[in-house]
A = this chain, B = another copy of it.
Amino acid sequence: MSEQQHKFVLDESEMPTHWYNVVPDLPAPPPPPLHPGTREPVGPDDLAPLFPIELILQEVSQEQYVEIPEAVRDVYKQWRPSPLFRAHRLEQKLGTPARIYYKYEGVSPVGSHKLNTAAPQVYYNSLHGIRRLTTETGAGQWGTALSYACALFGIECEVWQVGTSYDTKPQRRTLIEVFGGQVHRSPSRMTQSGQAFPEDHPGTLGIAISEAVEVAAQADDTKYSLGSVLNHVLMHQTIIGEEALRQLAKAGESSVDLVVGCAGGGSNFAGLAFPFLREKLAGTQDPTILAVEPTSCPTITRGQYRYDFGDTAGLTPLMKMYTLGHQFVPSTIHAGGLRYHGMAPLVSHAVDLGLIEGRALHQRECFEAAVEFARTEGVVAAPESSHAVAQVRREALACKETGEEKVIVLGLSGHGLLELGAYADFLEDHLADDPLSEDSLQAALAHVPTV
């Protein structure tokens, strides 16, 4: 065994100072969000009850780069720059000539990429004397991140957690509470949006969003915070890809063949992918960019690119996005963070432009790849991230056939240490694949509004 470099680390002084906004670089402008009532493009005033002005301006920004505030950089430095690893042992195990790198966001205090946007969102709210933030959480990673960020800036945090996650993951709730946040099972009895469903309903992200939005809209000192989907959220995550590009240069890789991330709402995926997309659009690199989703919630691969609501109750603006229909209820797979009916409008737009491709995988293949990854690389991937791991495994094995020495970048959005119940199900062969039937897909799509 020769001495190989495993990690490519950056010093704090090398951390990017700006987020990247892909919008001005795209060959066509993304379609605007529409007001749910008037169906006219929404303006800043429409969003003001929910978000501070800085985030609203970022949402519609045409600037290519937006400076990261010093207070946010100070938070980032608790774990950033995050490491880029070369997966030597996995390559050896697979016998692939591909060179596999993984950008690992699980080193953050909350165990995932979500803190990249929680920190600036809470910071901007703190500038306006906001007392409380509400939000939804699926797998629980976003709720954890917002809870911790709120602890840092002295703001209260109230989280509506999707029922099925709440019921099966008490540890996740505890972690949110350790950081100081308060957790409600969604659908709750506290909101009209929740009361529309039976108390034992498994819940969806769409319902939880409706509940958190409803509460925030009713109180002056309370705003709402969203963990994915929106343009400003995706932009905050681009520090992932910006760092990865710098780290790949340190590893001697001037060009990448393949960028792979899992995609639920799209933020971790976009955070890694958009800086590479910039290089692709500039012609300096030409990577294939893959967004991997579960077969049970196949937004890009089987959804339609249409205007739809972001939540179940129809309180949010209409966004043009790949959607399965805002009333779609996915099966209770373990990758709770991928159970969203839509895909971020910017990611959807890039797919529509042919710049990004979707792939869908069954969860058993994902866990099988994740166990192999754990035994070689030592990282127990989040069930969400395991989708990217499994797709990379496919690609690396294809390289073994063709002999191609592809350079592959894998986005590992978080660890799965609070999801070991899912791994136990897999190891004990209790894990089912749950493909989506064409009938139920068509039934859900029938509820997408006609715009």
Q: Which residue of B lies closest to A148 (CB)?
A: B378
A68 vs B333: C-alpha distance when bound (angstroms): 44
CB pair A6–B427 under 8 Å, yes or no, is no
Residue A189, interface by CB 8 Å: no
**Nearest residue, chain B, Cβ from A418:** B417
Task: Report B-chain residues with C-beta under 8 Å of the C-beta of A197.
Answer: none
One of B12, B71, B107, B380 near A6 (C-beta < 8 A): B12
Interface stretch of the complex, out of A33-41, A169-177, A219-227, A259-267: A169-177
Given A3-B73, A3-B74, A107-B107, CB of A420 within 8 Å of CB of B174: yes
User: For the complex, is A423 an interface residue (Cβ under 8 Å from B)?
Assistant: yes
Kindly state whether residue A282 has any CB partner on chain B within 8 Å: no
Confirm or deny: A421 has a beta carbon within 8 angstroms of a beta carbon on chain B: yes
Q: Are the CB atoms of B7 and A423 closer together than 8 Å?
A: no
* Contact call B170/A1, Cβ cutoff below 8 A: no
Determine the chain B residues whose CB is within 8 A of the CB of A178 once the complex forms: 371, 374-375, 380, 420, 423, 427
Q: Is B12 touching A171 in the complex (CB atoms < 8 A)? A: no
**Looking at the complex, which one of B77, B174, B421, B427 makes contact with A177 (CB distance below 8 Å)?**
B427
Q: Contact partner of A174 among B1, B85, B423, CB < 8 A? A: B423
Question: Within residues 60 to 111 of chain A, which ones have a CB less than 8 A from any CB in chain B?
Answer: 70-71, 73-74, 77-79, 85, 89, 107-111
Per the bound structure, the CA–CA distance linking A378 and B112 in Å amounts to 12
Determine whether the beta carbon of A179 is less than 8 Å from that of B70: no
Name the contact of A9 in the complex, choosing from B9, B89, B378, B417 (C-beta under 8 A): B9
Q: Which residues of B contact A78 (CB under 8 A)?
A: 6-7, 85, 377-378
CA–CA, A107 to B379, complex, Å?
A: 10
A70 partner, pick from B1, B11, B175, B418, beta carbons under 8 A? B1
Enumerate 7 A-B pairs (CB-CB under 8 Å) in ascending A order.
Answer: A1-B70, A3-B70, A7-B79, A9-B11, A171-B421, A178-B380, A179-B374
6 tightest A-B contacts by CB? A109-B378, A171-B420, A151-B375, A174-B420, A174-B424, A6-B77
